[in-house]
Amino acid sequence: MTLPIEDLTPRQIVAELDRYIVGQAAAKRAVAVALRNRYRRQQLPAEERDDVLPKNILMMGPTGVGKTEIARRLAQLARAPFIKVEATKFTEVGYVGRDVESMVRDLVAASVRLVETERLATVREEAQRRAFERVVDLIEDAQDDSRTRWHGLPIANEFLQRAMSAAQATEVNEEELSQEEEDRKREEKRRQIENDLRAGKLKDQLVEVETEESSSPFLQVFSPQGMEEMGLDGAPGFGPFQSKRTRRRVTAEEALEILAEEEAQMMIDRPTLNREAVKRAEQTGIIFLDELDKVAGKSGGSGPDVSREGVQRDLLPIIEGSTVQSKFGPVRTDHVLFIAAGAFHMAKPSDLIPELQGRLPIRVSLEALTENDFRRILREPKNALTKQYEKLLAVEGLKVTFTDEALDEMAHAATEVNEKTQSIGARRLHTIMERLLEDILFDAPDMDKKDVVFDGPTVKEKLSVFVQNIENTKYIL
């Protein structure tokens, strides 16, 4: 199996990350090297690959500076299975926490979805063709039924008796036609239905389709490590939770979507898919372990410190490499890349137990964002907030424009609020944008003026009242 790791140099990887994330060059370089090392490992002889282990990364920096976004974009770039988990969810297992192995099972589930999506894309065209043929059959049957359905009605008067006699005479005449003529007419009718369906003339035609409804539930069960959520899987058609078939009356347009999905699922070899997904998770999976600093701390022998150190010790075998049982089969974590992150403003990496520190050999510090960074975040990224709101309001027919001075004022307001209150990094820009646009977002459908321009003075006036009253509980910033 050829693993879907992009053949990109570290410099190219950093350039791709720059399209979405401003600054943080050290963190980008670290993850770019980690991704490239995976590609290099795949080029080694098979007998040498197992000796090359991933160098896990620890990111340190305040909230809202891009730690999670870097890891997520890296996973998208490599088309690798990716999950984000918080270390704090593993505390107090048996009460409110979860078994640490659950994150590996979640990774495999994400890998299955990823591989399934890729395989569905390869068979989509053929599935749509098959679904189209089935819908044509359904429409043909529906039209035939609509002509003969009235035969079952009670004959209440002479008019219905005459109509019945005429219909029967027509049926006798049709039976006298040659078989070739019937086949020709049926083929012409089918071609007409196909043409009308492609042209959209029959998209509202009601047809009856049979769909499968899965009855496999998810139950919460108590395992030796704590409470887990598990699915009950079994052979179809057996046991109390087997899938059942139901008939639904839908339009031809909906039937095309339903049957295309069903045909695509039938064309996929599920056992092969699961094996590939497990291998993909083992070889290219990325687990982003956030809030690691919340479980750091020296143990005093009692209280929450015991729970925090217990979580660290539970993480050790997973990060170092172990085998976890999942419903898709056993999964080895030896080559899964772990990217841990935390603010570490109340604790230090040295507060982690030494064994866990050794499993996170690469340390990178992310810098707090400055006012200049906020300006760049509002201007440069492909998914910049200003571009998002411009597209959203364009749906209502509004053309919203932000001048450079307006962006400068928004960046200044975000910086000032972060300084006067608890800093939440770039997430503060979401609040600023919502405060600035709250009236337009509400009134957009009813506005007569379709061109809205935000300049420096307008933005400053709009935001000044909120910035000046940030400590007043009346304002939620």
**Range of lowest pLDDT (77-86, 148-157, 168-177, 201-210):** 148-157
pLDDT value at 214 more than 70: no
**Per mean pLDDT, which of 162-166, 403-407, 449-453 is the most reliable?**
403-407
What pLDDT is stored for residue 107 in this prediction? 92
Size of the chain, expressed as the number of residues it contains = 477
Q: Candidates 3.40.50.300, 3.20.20.210, 3.90.800.10, 1.10.3720.10; correct CATH number of 10-114+273-365?
A: 3.40.50.300
Structure tokens at 330: 């056993």
**Range of lowest pLDDT (113-117, 189-193, 348-352, 464-468):** 464-468
pLDDT value at 157 more than 60: no
Contact status, residue 194 vs residue 136, Cβ threshold 8 Å: yes
Contact status, residue 279 vs residue 328, Cβ threshold 8 Å: no
Tell me the C-alpha distance between 428 and 467, whole Å. Answer: 12
User: Which tens digits make up the pLDDT trace of 247-283?
Assistant: 778 787 888 888 888 888 888 888 888 999 999 898 8
**Do the two domains 10-114+273-365 and 371-468 of this chain adopt the same fold?**
no
> pLDDT-based confidence at 108, cuts 50/70/90?
very high
Q: 16-42 burial, b for 16+ CB within 10 Å, e for fewer?
A: bbbebbbbbeebbbbbbbbbbbbeebe
- C-alpha pair distances (Å), 431 with each of 406, 428, 438: 15, 5, 10
Mean pLDDT calculated for residue range 386-405: 89
Tell me the C-alpha distance between 405 and 411, whole Å. Answer: 10
Structure tokens at 349: 């990496």
More confident residue, 142 or 259: 259
pLDDT value at 178 more than 80: no
Beta bridge partners of 60: 342, 365
What pLDDT is stored for residue 133 in this prediction? 84
- DSSP tag of 23: S
Give domain limits for the chain: 10-114+273-365, 123-269, 371-468
- C-alpha pair distances (Å), 186 with each of 154, 183, 190, 208, 253: 30, 5, 6, 21, 23
Q: Candidates 1.10.287.130, 3.40.50.300, 3.40.50.1170, 1.10.8.60; correct CATH number of 371-468?
A: 1.10.8.60
User: Which tens digits make up the pLDDT trace of 316-366?
Assistant: 888 888 899 888 889 999 889 898 888 887 788 888 888 888 888 888 888
pTM for this entry: 0.73
**Range of lowest pLDDT (241-250, 307-316, 456-465):** 241-250
**Angle CA(254)–CA(260)–CA(261) in degrees, nearest 5?**
95
What pLDDT is stored for residue 95 in this prediction? 42
User: Which tens digits make up the pLDDT trace of 435-476?
Assistant: 888 888 888 888 887 888 888 888 888 888 777 766 554 444
**Range of lowest pLDDT (123-127, 191-195, 241-245, 472-476):** 472-476
More confident residue, 340 or 238: 340
